């Protein structure tokens, strides 16, 4: 071990410390080669310092000629998003990270309870009729009555998000961006997009690999609006149906506590109650979700709710009965070596479950 000197004092040079004190401070790691000594003589009387080396960014510059004081590009070229050459003098430095312009919220997935299950099926007993009590004379015959109890079953479904990154890309990008992390984050968002969409629009009878969502699980209290606009009176009627468990009779007592809809009808209904919003401020819920309330029930939008005129929907939900049955939550798993690439998947085994759909309501076909 020996010491060399410069204007900032002596530095110890050893196998362990030389790289860290030299190249690593310039952002060079893992013995990556950099440019050589800069042109020109080293001033007499001092040793070589890291400032005497060519900066690594200069290596990536494309050859070109600077023809004027303001021309910083190669002759006859122009740089744009789709074409052109690298600058002739200044390096083109891309910001690390990726701006995700298609990132979506997943409010219904976030607000729905998750419940562990231990089988390929979610199964529960459901009482649909109760043996009645009755008034009788003194010391009557004791005839027993029985409840009607049935079994409901929903099949767990599996979803996958598979990605592959070449080892070349991983190596070339490791000093700039963590490509594995980027791909995992994107795969996670893709999985959440799929879950949010399926929880609302899923149709297991048409697409056997997916589970059914709100559109197909709510069947008792539904009404086609035939392209008419939604009104506050209609929303009140939907709430009444959900409370009654039926349209024209009482079949249990529902306690609807959430409205879910699209952004178009969210704004249309908000406009109808705007004069009252000064007394009923908008609410900031968990996960950054904002809403307003109708008679104390939050109104929430999902980007997966259809906004097309004539296809829009409004859901009135009793969230006590809704949950996502989870055999396995979203999980990362490496896949076998695929040529010179890293391959992995995210997977989930689950199904949306509603143990009593009659305590919910839905208006569909909204909007001209």
**Positions in the chain whose pLDDT score sits under 50:** 1-9, 26, 30-39, 54-65, 73-77, 287
Give the CA distances from residue 135 to residues 11, 132, 141, 142, 145, in Å, rounded to whole numbers and listed in that order.
101, 10, 12, 12, 14
Tens digit of each residue's pLDDT (9 = 90 or more) over 290-323: 678 888 899 999 999 999 999 999 999 999 999 9
Give the CA angle between residues 213, 218, 222 to the nearest 5°: 130
Give the CA angle between residues 27, 28, 31 to the nearest 5°: 165
Secondary structure class of 277 (helix, strand, coil) = helix
d(CA 177, CA 96): 6
Biggest alpha carbon distance in the chain?
Answer: 122
Phi first, then psi, for residue 82 (nearest 5°) are -120, -15
Is residue 34 within 8 A of residue 53, CB to CB? The reply is: yes
Residue 274: its pLDDT value, please?
A: 77
Q: Can you give the three-state secondary structure of 122-161, one letter per residue?
A: EEEEEEEECCCCCCCCCCCCCCCCCCEEEEEEEECEEEEE
In the chain, the DSSP E strands lie at 2-6, 9-13, 113-116, 121-129, 148-155, 157-166, 222-224, 258-261, 283-284, 290-294, 297-301, 312-317, 322-334, 341-354, 361-366
Residue 129: its pLDDT value, please?
A: 92
Residue 92: its pLDDT value, please?
A: 65
- What's the token pair of residue 151? 């079994």
How many beta carbons lie within 10 A of that of residue 317, not counting itself? Answer: 26
Give the CA angle between residues 337, 342, 343 to the nearest 5°: 80
Residue 197: its pLDDT value, please?
A: 98
d(CA 73, CA 83): 13
Residue 158: its pLDDT value, please?
A: 98
- What's the token pair of residue 193? 């997009």
């Amino acid at each position: 071990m020996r010491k060399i000197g410069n204007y900032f004092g002596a530095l110890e040079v050893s196998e362990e410390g030389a790289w860290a004190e030299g190249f690593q401070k310039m952002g060079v790691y893992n013995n990556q080669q950099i440019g050589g000594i800069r042109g020109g003589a080293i001033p007499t009387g001092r040793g070589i310092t890291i400032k005497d080396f060519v900066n690594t960014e200069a290596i990536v510059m494309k050859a070109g000629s600077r023809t004027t004081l303001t021309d910083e590009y190669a002759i006859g070229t122009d740089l744009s998003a789709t074409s052109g050459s690298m600058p002739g003098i200044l390096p083109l430095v891309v910001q690390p990270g990726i701006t995700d312009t298609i990132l979506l919220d997943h409010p219904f997935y976030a607000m729905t309870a998750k419940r562990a299950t231990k089988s390929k099926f979610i199964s529960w007993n459901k009482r649909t009729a109760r043996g009645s009590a009755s008034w009788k004379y003194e010391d009557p015959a004791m005839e027993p009555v029985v409840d009607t109890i049935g079994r409901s079953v929903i099949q767990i479904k599996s979803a996958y998000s598979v990605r592959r990154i070449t080892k070349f890309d991983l190596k070339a990008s490791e000093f700039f961006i963590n490509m594995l992390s980027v791909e995992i984050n994107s795969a996670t968002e893709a999985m959440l997009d799929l879950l949010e969409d399926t929880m609302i629009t899923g149709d297991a009878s048409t697409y056997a690999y997916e589970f059914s969502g709100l559109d197909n699980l709510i069947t008792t209290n539904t009404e086609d609006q035939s392209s008419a606009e939604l009104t506050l009176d209609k929303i009140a009627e939907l709430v009444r149906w959900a409370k009654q468990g039926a349209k024209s009779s009482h079949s249990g007592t529902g306690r609807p506590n959430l409205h879910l809809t699209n952004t178009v009808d969210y704004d249309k209904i908000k406009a109808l109650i705007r004069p009252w919003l000064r007394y009923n401020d908008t609410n900031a819920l968990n996960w950054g979700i904002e809403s307003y309330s109708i008679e104390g029930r939050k109104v929430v939008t999902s980007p997966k709710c259809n906004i097309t005129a004539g296809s829009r929907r409004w859901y009135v939900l009793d969230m006590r009965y809704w949950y996502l049955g989870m055999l396995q939550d979203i999980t990362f798993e490496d896949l076998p070596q695929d040529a010179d690439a890293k391959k992995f998947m995210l997977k989930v085994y689950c199904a949306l479950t509603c143990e009593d759909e009659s305590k919910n309501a839905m208006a569909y076909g909204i909007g001209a």
